Amino acid sequence: MFAKRQSVLAATAGTPPARRSLRENIAPVVRFMRKPPVAVAGAGLLLLGAAALFVTVLGDPRAGAPSARAVLTREVAAAAPPPTGLEAFSMGAYGSWQDLTDDAGVIDPALAGEAVITLPNGATVSGDGAPVTAPRITAQPLPEAPIAGLSQPGPNGPLPAIASDGRVPAQAYARPFRSNGRPRVAIIVGGLGLNAVTTRAAIERLPAEVTLSFVPYAEGLQGWIDLARAQGHEVLLEMPMEPTGYPANDPGPYTLLASGESADIQAKMNWLLGRAVGYFGVTNYMGDRFAASDAGMTAFLGILRQRGVAFLDDGSMSRRPGAWARASAHRIIDEQQNPTAIVGQLNALEALAKGQGQALGTGFSYPVTVEAVARWTAELDARGLQLAPASAMTQRPGR
């Protein structure tokens, strides 16, 4: 067997190999490439090869451009805290509350801040009183508070009281007024005490006859009231009252509620009235819902009457008699916060005074309001009117 196989190999050793066609040579490769996995892999390699050839021939179109890489981390925003009573009470007009007093309750000019208000006429007013270019009204000081006999100790501070000789805070702390026979106009500017710059501007820029109204939540309240009286302004204290939409619309933690019992109203008023001394009366802050409560308003006005304190409202409670003395504003002068609208309301107030003998307007301590009132009141005498403190508009119930 071995010999036969060997002879076959020897016989074919010198012959050339048989020639095969190209088709027969590549047939196995074609069969291999037709297998699906191989076909997919081959297509991918072809694509990569084409891309490499493209980059090699044409180059990377962004190869010459500068590049940088940065890692960005998104910080989680802190949840905004719910508004406080102070923020609600201030109507959103100011974003910071400044305590201007030291431990003794005296205003420290170093703490008054560096903010400056630019007035419409180009003048400036600063919280610390230094860079003030607006004209300052000459001071006409009122007696320092407290006046002997007009207060008594309370659970949260001294409370107004009728003196044993019959003197009452509504008269003793009011600015004296003597009529000259002309129609009289009175203005109340409120919302004071929360912002140092605007509070100081109102005290120093407005005539002494303009009545100033302070927020009970203000830090250093007594210092501000003392400063206002030293300049000659009589002072009101604002009473937060329940409005429509309460508690979403919240004037603060000591808001007088329409549903409040007499004891609750008494306790809250003890805190509010005990915040300072030197005011002749109080005024409402909001309160349309509270005003609709007969029981609430009766308790509120009764407390003021017993303590000899006046009540001046913004015009929304004119049909509610009571307190030791009463007055209601005829117009809110700055519901639109622009000079033209405010002066228009002041002119309407002037016309009303000339028609009925007197008129009372009220506004908030926006810078534009302070400046408009300062300019308008400066020309009242030339127009035949007399500027009067708001206390001169009050009347005793039944008189």
DSSP 60-90: -TTTTS--------PPPPPPPPPPPHHHHHT
pLDDT 10s per residue in the chain (399 long)?
334 434 433 444 444 445 555 566 666 655 655 666 656 666 666 676 666 655 555 555 555 555 556 555 656 555 555 433 334 333 333 333 333 344 444 444 443 444 455 544 444 544 444 444 456 789 999 999 999 999 999 999 999 999 999 999 999 999 999 999 999 999 999 999 999 999 999 999 999 999 999 999 999 999 999 999 999 999 999 999 999 999 999 999 999 999 999 999 999 999 999 999 999 999 999 999 999 999 999 999 999 999 999 999 999 998 888 899 999 999 999 999 999 999 999 999 999 999 999 999 999 999 999 999 999 999 999 999 999 999 999 998 754
Q: How many CB atoms lie within 10 A of CB 203?
A: 25
Hey, what are 295's tokens? 């029981």
**Nearest CA to 187 among 204, 210, 158, 216?**
210
**Nearest CA to 117 among 373, 369, 387, 379?**
369
Q: For the chain, which residues make up each domain, given as ranges?
A: 155-393
Does the predicted model carry a pTM greater than 0.75?
no
Could you please state the CATH topology (level 3) that the domain comprising 155-393 is classified under: TIM Barrel (3.20.20)
Instruction: For residue range 176-217, list pLDDT tens digits in order.
Output: 999 999 999 999 999 999 999 999 999 999 999 999 999 999
**What is the average pLDDT value for the chain, to the nearest integer?**
80
Instruction: For residue range 271-311, list pLDDT tens digits in order.
Output: 999 999 999 999 999 999 999 999 999 999 999 999 999 99
Q: What are phi and psi of 166, to 5 degrees?
A: 95, -5
Q: Are 206 and 233 in contact (CB under 8 A)?
A: yes
